A and B are shown apart, each in its own frame.
Chain A
Amino acid sequence: MDLRTYVIRRFILMIFVLFGIVVITFVISHVIPADPIGAILGPQASPELVEKIRREWGFDKPLHEQFVDYIFKLMKGDLGKSIRTNNPVVEDLLYFFPATIELATSAMIVAIAIGIPLGIISAVKKDKWPDHISRIFALVGVSMPVFWLGLILLFVLYYKLGIFPGPGRLDPGIPEPPRITGLITIDSLISGNFKALLNSLWHLALPSFVLGYYASASITRITRTALLEVLNQDYIKTARSKGLAERVVLFRHALRNALIPTTTVIGMTYGSLLEGAVLTETIFAWPGLGRYSTGAFLSVDFLAVMGTTLLIALIYSLANLIVDILYAFLDPRIRYA
């Protein structure tokens, strides 16, 4: 099968995945709660109101009919209305999600920049001090409650030492650039506002590092494992027997192979980053999906919660799709199997 067929197949698979996501969100929002309408309207609603809305929204219909209703609503882009903001949930999501994408993606860059070199060092210096140190570093990263780390670092590095800026995406004095993509860094770049660009990058630094460190742990581990596996192979012996310097063997032969399973893990790591964003955005006053959903949890804004869950699952699936296609570029065995 060649590359084109593979990509097409992968896209078709994506559709099934999306369907699965819809099924699960349906189950969670309609089947699991004892009283879905009560959950949506919140504890203050009177029983009469609950009953009225139940009938209005078709929640007294049999389950499979509800499911069809649900799908139709989704296709129209109707995710309900947030009781907190009073906006349609879809609007809220569209407003908030770019900030999360900006955070998650820059954290991903940090995670890769930390994780892969550490993994390489670990593998090459196996069982010696650099290996032990980076393994501990990675293990601590994966055991760390990311919301706590964010809090502590913000306290120490911002409040006490003033090295990093405070919460938020920009200093209060600096106006936001015109909203084109919603990512302040890109928007500043596009509108030529370098002051905002630098400031936003500086604000991005600490939260990206906190999230990135957490995610780098799994990248370090897979790089280490994959590289060790590869270095044991015969083709590495062959490469050495041809008279190649060790550095060339490592980068031209070993890494090319080790990065293949690593890529898959990087896709999954994006999911951890989205999780981390949800947990840390409140701490950094980052106006993204995390902040939105945390507010939703606190005020029992059930529809907002479900909307966020759906969107995050969507973003995660997209990330995995991109990674899978990248995988096909890296591994010819998939393409020409």
Chain B
Amino acid sequence: MHEVITLALMDYLKSEDFRITLYLVRKSPLTMLGMTLTISLILFAILAPYIAKQDPIEQDPSKRLLPPSPEHPFGTDQLGRDIFSRVIWGSRISLTIAVIVVAISFSTGTVLGIVAGYFGGKVDELLMRITDMFMAFPRLILAMAVAAALGPGIFNTVIAMAFVSWVYYARLSRASTLQVREEMFVEAARAIGASNLRILFKHILPVTISPVIVQATLDMGGAILTAAALGFLGLGVQPPTPEWGVMVSEGRRFITEQWWVSTFPGFAILLATLGFNLLGDGINDILNVRSRR
């Protein structure tokens, strides 16, 4: 089995398609930057125990609010915890939340959108009405309300965010599906008797996937930002879990004298989100250029 996959992969890597893609990626320094940031984030999350040796949760009041130093590159917070460790470990939290949220909303939303777009009729109407209702709210506001209703905690945060995000994928995939459905080759496939399921997989899915992938990448950034916002407001992950938004909020009281407590976690949010946004933008440009051939 994996020989087949390896062969297919090698074939692709040698193909002109791949070389053009690589060329386009190399040509865009912003996309490269995005990839670097994103990969770094993932590495930090995976290798957290090795990079951040100091315990992110253990408190040491004697070391309260120390400024940045070689021992504590980002300083310490009001409970004596090393901020550098907390930021590194925080990448795990943010990344995990983002991945789960995007995975859930991506899969449910895309499937629902494709089904609604393909079969049309009442199913489609229903989906449109429901998504309309969701989209009447600014995203974060809705997430906040649901989070408030569910209560704090990482699990509830994930549910609240996924509950709010799926609609955008549904709309996107529905729009693509509608476009493709009218294309000649789908009519042709139906004419030779291909089953609906087969048409969905072989024809519709490949086309609808690419804008959705761009959206998913950008959404990773959005999810990190949203999780941080919820944390900042006290609705999301709870202390002592080292979540970046919570850390910014905790450091607010000390901003005048101990600026580092809020600054570094916030900067981490910025870089992580920026990485995904650059990557998503780059993928978007590449896909657009290629399809215009």
Using CB atoms and an 8 Å cutoff, list the residues of chain A in contact with chain B: 16-17, 20-21, 23-25, 28-29, 32-33, 39, 132, 135-136, 139-140, 142-145, 147-149, 151-152, 154-155, 159, 271-272, 274-275, 278-279, 283, 293-294, 296-298, 300, 302, 305-306, 309, 312-313, 316-317
What size tier do the contact residues of chain B reach? Answer: 35 or more
Evaluate whether A274 and B248 lie within 8 angstroms (CB atoms) in the complex, with A136-B30, A139-B277 already known. Answer: no
| 3 A-B pairs with least C-beta separation | A148-B266, A20-B133, A271-B138
**A272: which B residues are within 8 A, CB to CB?**
138
By a CB distance below 8 angstroms, the chain A residues around B281 are 139
Residues of A within 8 A of B146 (CB): 28, 32
User: Which chain A residues border B101 with CB–CB below 8 Å?
Assistant: none
Q: Give the interface of B toward A (CB within 8 A).
A: 30, 129, 132-134, 136-142, 144-146, 148-151, 221, 225, 228-229, 232-235, 245, 248, 252, 255-256, 259, 262-263, 266-267, 269-270, 273-274, 277-278, 281
Residues of B within 8 A of A313 (CB): 136-138, 141
Given the known interface contacts A143-B273, A145-B225, the answer about A28 and B145 at a Cβ–Cβ threshold of 8 Å is yes
With most chain B CB atoms within 10 A of its CB, the pick from A139, A142, A148, A272 is A148
- A148/B270 contact (C-beta < 8 A), A309-B137, A313-B137 known: yes
Most A C-beta atoms less than 10 A away, residue of B232, B248, B262: B232
Closest to B271 in A: A143
Interfacial chain A residues near B274, Cβ < 8 Å: 139-140, 143
Q: Which residue in chain A gives the minimum CB-CB distance to B160?
A: A32
Chain A interface SS verdict (over half)? helix
Which B residues lie within 8 Å of A309 (CB)? 137, 141-142, 144-145
What's the least CB distance linking B158 to chain A, in Å? Answer: 14
The CA of A278 and the CA of B144, in the complex, are separated in Å by 10
Q: Could you tell me the distance between the alpha carbons of A317 and B134 in the complex, rounded to whole angstroms?
A: 12
Q: Chain A residues near B262: list those with CB within 8 A.
A: 148, 151-152
Asked if B150 and A33 make an inter-chain contact with CB atoms under 8 angstroms apart, the answer reads yes
> Chain A residues with Cβ under 8 A from B256's Cβ?
155, 159
Compute how far the CA of A121 lies from the CA of B180 in the bound complex, rounded to whole angstroms: 35
User: Which of B133, B233, B255, B278 is the one whose CB lies under 8 Å from A21?
Assistant: B133
In the bound assembly, the distance between CA atoms of A325 and B221 in angstroms comes to 33
Residue among B149, B150, B228 with the highest chain A CB neighbour number at 10 A: B149
A143 and B277 contact, Cβ closer than 8 Å, known pairs A39-B149, A313-B136: yes
